[in-house]
Amino acid sequence: MHLDPFELHRPESVEETVRLARDLGPGFDYLAGGTDLLPNYKMHLNVRPHLIALDQVRELQGYTPERIGAMTRLANLDADPEIARWYPALGEAVHGVATPLVRASGTVGGNLLVETRCFFFNQSFFWRASLGFCLKADGDRCHVVPQKEKCYATFSGDLAPALQVLGATVEVAAPEGNRRLPLDELYAADGDGIQRHRLGPGELLVAVHLPPEARRVRSTYLKLRPRPSFDFPELGLAAALTRDGDRLSSLEVAAGGLETYPRRFRSITEGFVGGTFTDDRIRELAAAIQAAVRPVHNTAYPPDYRKRMTGVFVRRAVRALWEGRGAS
Amino acid sequence: MTAAPSPELRLLGREIPYIEGPLKVSGRSEYTDDIKRPGMLVGKLLRAPWAHAKLLRVDVTKARAFPGVFAVLTGEKYPTPFGVLPITKDETAIAVDRARYIGDIIAAVAAQDELTAERALALVEIEVELLPEYSDPRVGRTRVDVPIHEKGLNHSNIQKEVVQHFGDVDAAFRDAAATVRVRASFAGVTHAFTEPQCTVAEATPDGRLTVWSSTQVPHYLHRALSEVLRLPMHRIRVVKPEVGGGFGGKSDPLPHEIACAALALETGRPVKILFDRDEVFLTNHGRHPTFNEVRIASTADGQLLGYDIEALIEGGAWSSFGTVTTYYNGVMAMGPYALPSFRYKGQRVFTNRPPSGAMRAHGGTNIRYSVEVGLDELAEKLNLDPFDLRSRNALPPHSTTVNEFRVTSTSFLRCLEAVRERSGWAEKWRRLPYGHGVGLGCGFYISGSNSPIHFTPKMPQCTVHLKADMDGGITVHCMQADIGQGSNTLLAAIVAEVVGVSLDRIHISPVDSDVTPVDIGSYSSRVTFMMGNAARKAAEGLRDRLLDATHQLTGYPRDALRVGVERYEVVHRPDIGATYLEALHQAIQSTGAVQSTGAYISPPVGGTFKGARAGTAPAYSFAAYVAQVAVDDETGVYDVEKVWAAFDCGRPLNRLAVEGQIQGSIHMGLGQFMGESMDYRGTRLMNPSLLDYKIIMPHQMPEVECLLVGEDDPEGPFGAKEAGEGPLVATLPAAANALYDAVGVRFYDLPVTPDRVLKGLDRRRAESRVWKGH
């Protein structure tokens, strides 16, 4: 397999990047760690003639516990005991990404905006051509759920659910200036796997911000996958809560690897906040979230198994946090 | 726990690091893809996007005219069919009139670079008539509309049918006090070697063709190239550079190797074809997807009375080794137990999917699983410890099986004793808490297929030439194929041992048909046994020349002399003698470099009935493994924590290599058990990548304790037998029987993924069957 020729741009500031992005229109991709994009390019998946490399863009580099630059390498976070101490869910999620080699290149921004995945999409050009192309690349139908309207490719980043339960916001640069938005709003909750984010044309993810409360919650991230490294999540479940005696004073649960976007279950969890929290309540919570999720058959494990594991993982994660111990 | 190295051996029996190791780990070894020839072109293959189609027109005019293209070939120029077995030649280098699976080769291009080659292939115009697709071997057993090959029995897709009956199985089941039946299914698995297939070919103006290829069997490739390209063998030179793993997947001559050579002939330029990983998966030749059924009959005290076995194996698009595989799926159930009756019905059926072939523990893995799980069930039914059931039925040494296998050495009982003790079986079996368990699995395997595949001309299975010249080095010539398993190191060590010199004097010649005498390759676990014996004979010839020279130098007769370290000396006056160099320099005075040769020809063994040769070997290896597992009963995720591996390879000649083979076999066996699967939807392979094909990771590898307890084999070199494939087969049933001990559920469909574990637990709960209080 070969990479088709492309033109590489290496801007040094956000301003320059955003201007370049505006000038290039839709004909480019941002190149962060390249661990997912370049293999996809080799398979001729939505190849663009221009790549804007972000490794020289000053404002995207480096991190503090409050602000994590989008180009922060996952390996750097993984090696930092402060991250694991302040934000266990984030530390566990980062550590669970792929392999040490991928984490050495892979970035925070790249993982948040990683391309959605599907059996019928992540295949060689030959493979896809022989079946007939799909909605997500070069075609007009879905092979997972045969129809022509909607793509079911699965969101497969690890960091998003962990950062969602920690209440993260993201800093986005746009031609009109920077804006801040809750991480949830980075993703489209209308369930289409083609558009993996809601950034506008030329917009750039600059950094992730964590609020002070993120350090006060108990949090964890559990990952389901066939093998304990290398694999993308078949389910990535993050939970965070605070306990006040027998009272649950905050609760957040989010999951990736199940649907087209990382999903936070606020409408379910808010019904549990405030009251006393018992084992029965934990089971009710797990059952409600399990009932709400809709995985499809486009990853290694069958959807009924991933759905059932959602309930198990919610129960395990929340119970462990409630009891003040590690879940994994 | 291991037997002590033999006191009379200086080198063999110890841990000998691979002699090529420093080159490999420093990146200096030359693999086929490292070969670069002046003016070399890139070869690329156009692969069929249809599972089954008649080729009406393949028009390469535009592709040929594309700038930078040197040649485009279609099937008609070299239509001669070939195959690894002379009786089932049905592959072609490039499809002639029909595409038989998604990935079949339709055209080959040689171009200045990869991009040009790919663009040219896109310009090939093809018209086809789509034919009915067959993805289910069960369907292909009866008459079909368009058989995948014309020769299919009775207009079906059956490639091979085997029926064997020894003793009286019906009587055995009539008289049995207990019977069990296991029905199991096995997904196909593939070798997943590190190095993708690669071939370089160059035709030169002297009328010769040189082919470098990543192959396990240079000799069969040599024959196939000659037949298909219609060139006499002496005008073809086959070279095998370092090979990054094979496991059976590089033992057939493969279409791309011949297509590459054809492109070289066509262009007069060197051509290289290097596979992408998805091409490796599509080329497959891996373990057959299998359905089998094993019925076992025994007396009330656990004496086995007979097996009744059926197997349906899926061949994919080509025959490959399939005739052998069909036999093996029965006869590999034979040991390590004495069996008075045996019946087998096996079928291999073509489908429009990537071809199946030989893979480590070829034909013996899936049937072994069903037999050993069945024996675990039988032991439970008879209220026997699984160890007692096995030891009660162990094949005695120097016996003949009911299907006339000649068995010589077996240390199977020692294997059972060692693994029972080391694993703490008595304290663990049925005694560990719920979710934890131990299981026993056993096995045996051929130490080399007794019969070569080709019978003409008559020749030894292995020949070794040695040359010792004035520089003091000894060059070893042999076409044995080191594919990472350590055969070069063994070859060097045997010569050094016998001649009495240090290992660094030995130089293993690269495998090159112009130079190295024929060995029939690395398959069927034959190399240690056959090459080892040939090397030993060649080295003894050289040693004798050096002893003769010592006699000339000292005046003492040869039978008064012995081999020392870099020295030959008088037995009773060790101070008198000659150094190795003194003796060598004496020996070359009149003849020049000293040469010697050794060869191995297997003894005549086995019966005379049809198919009697399948499974015959000059010796057999034996195994008894215990696995320990821990199961998470909410998720179905389980951990194979430890495997105790008692193995009888006779005398281990290189303990590092043997333990490496056992570790690697357990990794591969557990891969098939836990998650590896060629995952199809219809005729389409869904996971042709190393991300989606789930080889187990180091984190999943159990601790392995190797127990090498074999006694010397009477015919093996220095008493050795194979250790390349036999160590795999016991792994899977040991894990399955351990899962049963842990949670009380049997698993009959491989791979046993966590979702299947959970379904099994659901079934057990639905039956209200309590296991260890749960």
Residue range(s) of every CATH 3.30.465.10 domain in chain A: 57-212
Whether the predicted pLDDT of B2 surpasses 60: no
> Is residue B152 very low, low, confident or very high in pLDDT (cuts 50, 70, 90)?
confident
The enclosing H or E element of B495 equals: helix B487-499
List chain A residues with CB under 8 Å of B632. Answer: none
**B488 touches B481 (CB < 8 A):** no
> Is B358 a domain residue?
no
Of A122, A300, A309, the CB nearest to B635: A309
Determine the pLDDT at residue B161: 97
Whether the predicted pLDDT of B7 surpasses 80: no
The enclosing H or E element of A13 equals: none
Determine the pLDDT at residue B314: 98
Q: Is B760 helix (H, G, I), strand (E, B) or coil?
A: helix
Whether the predicted pLDDT of A327 surpasses 70: no
Is A2–B118 a contact, with Cβ atoms under 8 angstroms apart?
Answer: yes
List chain A residues with CB under 8 Å of B688. Answer: 123-124, 127
Determine the pLDDT at residue A9: 98
> Is residue B5 very low, low, confident or very high in pLDDT (cuts 50, 70, 90)?
very low
Cα–Cα distance measured from residue B194 to residue B369, given in angstroms and rounded to the nearest whole number: 27
Q: Please tell me which residue of chain A has the smallest CA distance to B699.
A: A228
Q: Which residues neighbour B386 within 8 Å (Cβ) at sequence distance 6 or greater? A: B375, B376, B379, B429, B439, B440, B737
Of B687, B692, B755, the CB nearest to A302: B755
Q: Please give the ipTM for the structure prediction.
A: 0.96
Q: What mean pLDDT comes out for the span B97-115?
A: 97
**B302 touches B143 (CB < 8 A):** no
Q: What is the DSSP string of B425-451?
A: HHHHTTTSPTTEEEEEEEEEEESS-SS
Determine the pLDDT at residue A108: 98
Of B115, B687, B689, the CB nearest to A2: B115
> Is residue B510 very low, low, confident or very high in pLDDT (cuts 50, 70, 90)?
very high
Residue from A3, A126, A312 whose CB has the most chain B CBs within 10 Å, to mutate: A126
Cα–Cα distance measured from residue A287 to residue B684, given in angstroms and rounded to the nearest whole number: 36
Cα–Cα distance measured from residue B262 to residue B545, given in angstroms and rounded to the nearest whole number: 46
Q: Please tell me which residue of chain A has the smallest CA distance to B674.
A: A226
First to last CA, chain A: 39
**A161 touches A254 (CB < 8 A):** yes
Torsion of CA A19, A25, A27, A29, to 10 degrees: 50
Closest residue by Cα to residue A260 from A179, A190, A185, A201: A190
Cα–Cα distance measured from residue B459 to residue B463, given in angstroms and rounded to the nearest whole number: 9
Determine the pLDDT at residue B1: 42
Nearest-neighbour CA in chain B from A228: distance (Å)? 7
Q: What is the DSSP string of A129-196?
A: HHH--BTTBB-S--SSS--SS---PBP--SHHHHHHHTT-EEEEE-TT--EEEEGGGGS-TT--SS--
Alpha-carbon Rg for chain A in angstroms: 20
Residue from A3, A119, A154, A227 whose CB has the most chain B CBs within 10 Å, to mutate: A227
> Is residue A326 very low, low, confident or very high in pLDDT (cuts 50, 70, 90)?
low
Cα–Cα distance measured from residue A174 to residue B297, given in angstroms and rounded to the nearest whole number: 77
Is A126–B278 a contact, with Cβ atoms under 8 angstroms apart?
Answer: yes
pLDDT per residue as tens digits for the range B351-409 = 999 999 999 999 999 999 999 999 999 999 999 999 999 999 999 999 999 999 999 99
- Sheet of B290-298, strand order: B158-166, B342-350, B304-316, B290-298, B178-186, B749-750
Is B692–A129 a contact, with Cβ atoms under 8 angstroms apart?
Answer: no
Is A126–B49 a contact, with Cβ atoms under 8 angstroms apart?
Answer: yes
List chain A residues with CB under 8 Å of B697. Answer: 227-230
List chain A residues with CB under 8 Å of B115. Answer: 2, 4
Q: Is B546 helix (H, G, I), strand (E, B) or coil?
A: helix
Cα–Cα distance measured from residue B231 to residue A153, given in angstroms and rounded to the nearest whole number: 52
Is B118–A300 a contact, with Cβ atoms under 8 angstroms apart?
Answer: no
Cα–Cα distance measured from residue A273 to residue A252, given in angstroms and rounded to the nearest whole number: 9
Neighbours of B152 (CB within 10 A): 18
Q: Please tell me which residue of chain B has the smallest CA distance to A308.
A: B635
Is B700–A301 a contact, with Cβ atoms under 8 angstroms apart?
Answer: no
Cα–Cα distance measured from residue A326 to residue A316, given in angstroms and rounded to the nearest whole number: 10
> Is B58 a domain residue?
no
**B566 touches B502 (CB < 8 A):** yes
> Is B582 a domain residue?
yes
> Is B2 a domain residue?
no
Is B691–A309 a contact, with Cβ atoms under 8 angstroms apart?
Answer: no
What's the mean per-residue pLDDT of chain B? 97
Q: What is the DSSP string of A99-114?
A: -HHHHHH-BHHHHHTP
What CATH number matches the domain at A57-212, 3.10.20.30, 3.40.50.1220, 3.30.465.10, 3.40.50.1000? 3.30.465.10
Cα–Cα distance measured from residue A156 to residue B39, given in angstroms and rounded to the nearest whole number: 45
> DSSP state, B505?
G
Domain total for chain B? Answer: 1
Question: Within an 8 Å CB–CB cutoff, is residue B276 touching chain A?
Answer: yes
Alpha-carbon Rg for chain B in angstroms: 27
Nearest-neighbour CA in chain A from B217: distance (Å)? 27
Q: What is the DSSP string of B76-127?
A: GGS---B-SSGGG--B-SS-SSEE-STT-EEEEEEESSHHHHHHHHTT-EEE
Residue A166 half-sphere exposure toward CB, CA atoms < 13 A:
32
For residue B481, the enclosing domain spans: 21-28+452-600
> Is B566 a domain residue?
yes
Closest residue by Cα to residue A105 from A193, A39, A183, A192: A39
Of A2, A127, A229, the CB nearest to B697: A229
- The gap from C-alpha B571 to its chain's centroid, in whole angstroms, comes to 44
Q: What mean pLDDT comes out for the span B582-608?
A: 97
**Cis amide leading into B340 (omega within 30):** no
Question: Within an 8 Å CB–CB cutoff, is residue B50 touching chain A?
Answer: yes
Cα–Cα distance measured from residue B743 to residue B725, given in angstroms and rounded to the nearest whole number: 30
Q: Please tell me which residue of chain B has the smallest CA distance to A298.
A: B686
Determine the pLDDT at residue B6: 53
Q: With pLDDT > 90 as the criterion, what percentage of chain A qualifies?
A: 90
**B723 touches B657 (CB < 8 A):** yes
| Beta-bridge mates of residue A107 | A73
List chain A residues with CB under 8 Å of B276. Answer: 1, 124
Query: Residue B544: which CATH number?
Result: 3.30.365.10
Q: With pLDDT > 90 as the criterion, what percentage of chain B qualifies?
A: 97
Class of domain A220-321: alpha beta
**Cis amide leading into B137 (omega within 30):** no
Question: Within an 8 Å CB–CB cutoff, is residue B632 touching chain A?
Answer: no
pLDDT per residue as tens digits for the range A202-256 = 899 999 999 999 999 999 999 999 999 999 999 999 999 999 999 999 999 999 9
Whether the predicted pLDDT of B256 surpasses 60: yes
Determine the pLDDT at residue A259: 96
**Lowest model confidence (mean pLDDT) among A186-200, B504-518, B665-679:** A186-200
Q: With pLDDT > 70 as the criterion, what percentage of chain B qualifies?
A: 99
Residue range(s) of every CATH 3.30.390.50 domain in chain A: 220-321
